[in-house]
Amino acid sequence: MKSVTRILASALMLVISVSMTQANASTSTSLGMAYDNNLSIAIEVNEMAHITVSPNTFSADFHLVQGALDGSSIPFNGYTGVGMFYDTTVSDSEEIGVRFPMGVDMIVAFNTKVYVQVHPELYISDETDSLELELGWAFGVQYTF
């Protein structure tokens, strides 16, 4: 369990440090609630690093490509990226793997946005010792400070 904690802490620090180096002079932080395999606290730094934490799950995503969706009358922004996850919601099983989030977000009120995403997840199963591929999803609401 100590090695898992170290891996998660390292991934979190990497995602935050990369997003900080990519940032302009100003830094924005968003905080909110999300459902990402479980009810979670959602943190976003500079609209690039997205982290969700709950008692049984953890994920850290880095948005590689993002921007406004052209041709839409509703002001959606789209993004895609790469990330990692840790999940123990299934009894007697741990899942650690990579995922590839793709989603949209929209500002609904002053400094408040909603988002929805899907993310293919690739991991090695504890039960079968084989490579597994699943499709996960998430949605949430965040307030930017």
By residue range, what is the domain housing residue 38? Answer: 2-144
> CB of 52 within 8 A of CB of 39?
no
Average pLDDT in the chain: 83
pTM of the model: 0.77
Residue 137 confidence (pLDDT): 96
8-12, 36-40, 130-134, 140-144: which has the minimum mean pLDDT? 8-12
The pLDDT > 70 percentage for the chain reads: 79
DSSP of 73-118, one letter per residue?
A: SS--EEEEEEEEEEE--STT--EEEEE--EEEEEEEETTEEEEEEE
pLDDT at 52: 93
CATH of the domain at 140: 2.40.160
> What confidence tier does 68 reach under pLDDT thresholds 50, 70, 90?
confident
* pLDDT-based confidence at residue 37 (cuts at 50, 70, 90): confident
What total number of domains does the chain contain? 1
Distance in angstroms (rounded) separating the CA atoms of residues 90 and 87: 8
